Every structure is written in structure tokens, then in C-alpha cells.
Structure 1
């Protein structure tokens, strides 16, 4: 074999960091050793994988084509090594989840996964749909759990479970006290506190409010569901979030659900995996566990 796994590790690390020094640090190598490994790999096959732009190494077209294959080979090698050393069915897993899923569903899934595979370590990265998708595409995450709808040729996008948004307000808000149905005019007159653009929740809200969006008054855009709930509890406006995040507040009576007839707040949650990423035993076990927890 004319290449080594170490050379592939250096290639992938530099592709990720776009900097030789940081890649060497990540692999606990000297800069000269990392540089030699990359040069040997390129020289052995008479190709160049990066464009040199000052101190920055940027993948060229050849490098971009080969990176997914290198990532897959390294993932298989790590999986094989874990099987040799631990005789384990599933190993460490890097999971990404959007905020509602990460704060209210993913931790329970992690607990079940680690109960089934006590030797496995799971890390959780929380962000909005766009951020999680970008990290899956960049091989920083093994699998993503997202709320937003996306379309990318390099992603396997698997329907997971249904969800629904709810419009809500403070118990003393005029819309709660009136006891009447919420009309389009009420929605136009309200002060809204919403998730930021790029989040799955905002995407679903914008779709549900089709035809009204230009007339809505958006007072605040916040990145965290708890911050939105606190702002609504403080009487700053009304909000719209997943029912997953609101059930406890509705039960306590600290927030009130406002039914909005004629508006569809249903949505689909998804699992995403890079199409060219090697499906390790851990990834397959996680996907199976998620499908077992659809409700």
C-alpha cells in the first residue's frame, strides 16, 4: 500500500483546520512531521491536494474529491480498532442537535444509548439547523437531529418524528384574557418574540404565517428558547415555539397557549448524515434508537 493511515489523518486534519500548525497540534505531531506526511502523500501519487495561500492551505478540486473517501477510510479504521480493543458493538459518537431537540429530547436519547453501550462516549453539539447541517457536511458531527427543512446533495435526510409549534402569551395578556379566537388582525397587532433566521422553528413559523409576514411586528429575535419564554413571561410580547419546549409551562400556567385557527403549525423533525460518511456501528445504533423514539 502506497499510503498510510497517518498520512490520511494529516490530510483530513489540514482540510479541516486549513492550517498546518493547528492540524499538527490536533494530531499531537510536530509541524515538520505533519508537513512531511502531506508532501509524501502528494509526491507518491504526483498530485497536489491544497492551494497554498500564505499560511493557509485550502483544498483544491482534487482535494475536495478525495476528502470524503479519506474520511470514510479513517472512520472504518477507527471502528475496526475499537472492535479489536474493546470488542464493542458501538463506540464514541458526535451528535449535533438543534436547540429544541438538544434541550428537550437529545439528552434522554444519550442516556438510553449509553445504557445500551456503557463503553460508548457521546458528545452533544447544540446549534440551529444551518449550523448543525454545516458541521455534518464538514465531518465534525457523525449525525444531526434538526428541526428545519434543508436540501443538500451530500446529505441523507431521514424523516424522524412529527412536531407542532404553539403560539403563546403571558396569562394576563389581552389575548389570553379576551377568551376569543385569535384572528389575523390580532396577529398583526401583536408584538412578537421569535427565534432567529436560520433556525428550524423560525422556518416553520414563517411558513405558518404565510401571507401575514410583511405585516407582523417582530420586537425581538433570540437564539434560545428559554430566553423567549422568559421574555414572554415578562410581558414583552407573544411567542411561537415547539410544544416540546412549552408543555411544562402550559401545565404550570405560567404561559398560555393561544389557538390560531386556519394556520398550520405542524412540522417534521429530521435525522441527517453525510452520504459519504462511513456508517459505523455507533451511527447505525443511534439511528435505530431515534426511530424507536418517534413519539
Structure 2
């Protein structure tokens, strides 16, 4: 074999960091050793994988082409190492989840996964759909759990479970009293100030789709990145919000917030799992997918 796993590690570390020094530090190598490994790797195959821009090494077209295969080989090698060293079916797993899923569903999944695989550590990155998809595409996450609809040629997008958004307000809000007298109409939805998630989030994507036709007429007063901040702002009577029902159930039961029923609008949506198509499906990734598929409601 004309290449080594160490050369692959150096190539991938530089691809992730864009810098030889940071890649060497990440791998606990000297800068000269990392530089030599990359040079030998490229020389053996008479290929250049990076464009040199000052101190930055940026993947060129050839580098981008071979990177998914290198990532798959390294994942397979790491899986093999785990099986030999730890005698475990599953190794370390890096999971990404959007905010609603991460704060209300993923922690329970992690607990069950770690109970089934006590020697397999799990990390969880919580961010919006756009950020999670970017990290899965960059092989920084093994798998993502997202709320937004996504179409990308390099990603497997796997339908997971159904969800629904809910419009809500403070119990004293005029719309809460109005819906006791009659069903709310589209005209009613145009009257309040709205407090919503930011663009790039799956929740905002679903809201915009559900409000098609009247969206430009809505008074969007605030756009916030965190679910709890939106709930607190609505409790403070700053406006009406819209979030995943799973994030609001406790507040509805306590009476802190009131659900507004919107018969003219469809807020149902699908949640998804995403994996890079070139990502090696290790025992850990497959075990996580199988666990998620048992939790579809």
C-alpha cells in the first residue's frame, strides 16, 4: 500500500483546519513531521491536494474529490481499532441536533444509547439546521438530527418522526380570549407582534411555509436564536410566538402560556436524520439510527 493511515490523518486534519500548524498540534506532531507526511503523500501519487494561499492550505478540486473517501477510510480504521482495543460494538459518536430536538429529545436518546453502550462516549452539538448540516457535510459530526427540510446531493436525509409547531401567547393576550368566542382567522393572525426563531432554523422554515400567502403582512417584532428566550419574551407580553409543540407542552400544562389554535394554517412538519453519503456507517452510527427509529412518537 502506497499510503499510510498517518498520512490520511494529516491530510484530513489540514482539510479541517486549513492550517498546517493547527493540524500538527491537533495530531500531537511537530510541524515538520506533518509537512513531511503531506509532501510524501502528494509526491507518491504525483498530485496536489491543496492550494497554498499564504499560510492557509485550502482544498483544491482534487482534494475535495478524494476527501470523502479518506474520511470513510479513517472512520472504518477507527471502528476497527475500537473493536480490537475496547471490544465494543460502538465507538465514540459525534451527534448534532437542532435546538428543539437537542434540548427536548436528544438528551434522552443519549442516555439510552450510553446505557446500551457504556464504553462509547457521545458528544452533542446543538445549533440550527443550517449549522448542523454544514458540520455533517464537513465530516465534523457523524450524524445530525434536524427540523428543517434539506436537499443536498452529498447527504442522506432520512425521515424520522412527525412534529408540529404551535402558536402561543400569554394567557391574558386578546387572541387567547378571542378564540374562546370563535375560531381564529388569517386576519386575526395579522394583528399581533410576532417573536420568532432566526432565519436558518428549521422552526423558522416551517413557520414561513405555514404562513405562505400572509407572511409579508405579519409584524415580526423580534427574531431570537433560543427557544427559551422566545418563551420568556411571550410570557413578558412582548408578542405571540411559534415553536415546536414538544418545547411548549410543560408551559401549557402549567398555564404559563396558552396555545392559539389556527384552523386556517397547517403547522405539521417532519423531523429528519442526516448522514454524509460518503460517511462510513460504523456500528455506533447504525446503533444511533436504529435507536432513533424506535422513538418515532
Residue 87 of structure 1: how far off its partner (Å): 1.0
**In structure 2, how many angstroms separate the alpha carbons of the residues matched to 1:127 and 1:183?**
33
Match of residue 292 from structure 1:
294
| SS at structure 2 position matched to 1:210 | coil
Aligned: 1:200 with 2:202: yes
Match of residue 12 from structure 1:
12
Aligned: 1:163 with 2:171: no
Question: Among residues 184, 209, 214, which one is paired with 1:182 in the alignment?
Answer: 184
**In structure 2, how many angstroms separate the alpha carbons of the residues matched to 1:276 and 1:51?**
23
Residue 189 of structure 1: how far off its partner (Å): 1.1
Structure 1 unmatched ranges of 5 or more? none
Correspondences of 1:61-72 after superposition (within 5 Å): 61-72=61-72
**In structure 2, how many angstroms separate the alpha carbons of the residues matched to 1:156 and 1:203?**
20
**In structure 2, how many angstroms separate the alpha carbons of the residues matched to 1:17 and 1:90?**
27
Correspondences of 1:94-109 after superposition (within 5 Å): 94-109=94-109
Match of residue 135 from structure 1:
135
**In structure 2, how many angstroms separate the alpha carbons of the residues matched to 1:125 and 1:7?**
28
What CA deviation, in whole Å up to 9, does each residue of 1:207-235 have, x standing for no partner? Answer: 11010011000000000000000000000
**In structure 2, how many angstroms separate the alpha carbons of the residues matched to 1:156 and 1:103?**
24
Residue 181 of structure 1: how far off its partner (Å): 2.0
Match of residue 82 from structure 2:
82
Correspondences of 1:222-261 after superposition (within 5 Å): 222-261=224-263
Match of residue 112 from structure 1:
112
Residue 184 of structure 1: how far off its partner (Å): 1.2
Correspondences of 1:139-150 after superposition (within 5 Å): 139-150=139-150
**In structure 1, how many angstroms separate the alpha carbons of the residues matched to 2:229 and 2:113?**
29
**In structure 2, how many angstroms separate the alpha carbons of the residues matched to 1:150 and 1:76?**
27
Match of residue 267 from structure 2:
265
Structure 2 unmatched ranges of 5 or more? none
Please say which of residues 108-117 and 183-192 is displaced more in the overlay.
183-192
**In structure 2, how many angstroms separate the alpha carbons of the residues matched to 1:264 and 1:175?**
18
Residue 177 of structure 1: how far off its partner (Å): 2.0
| SS at structure 1 position matched to 2:165 | strand
Kept after mapping to 1: 8 A contact 2:198/2:204: yes
Q: What is the aligned length?
A: 295
Kept after mapping to 1: 8 A contact 2:186/2:264: no
CA RMSD of aligned residues (A): 0.6
What CA deviation, in whole Å up to 9, does each residue of 1:70-128 have, x standing for no partner? Answer: 11111000000000011111111000000000000000000000000010100000000
Kept after mapping to 1: 8 A contact 2:169/2:240: yes
**In structure 1, how many angstroms separate the alpha carbons of the residues matched to 2:246 and 2:226?**
14
Kept after mapping to 1: 8 A contact 2:185/2:264: no
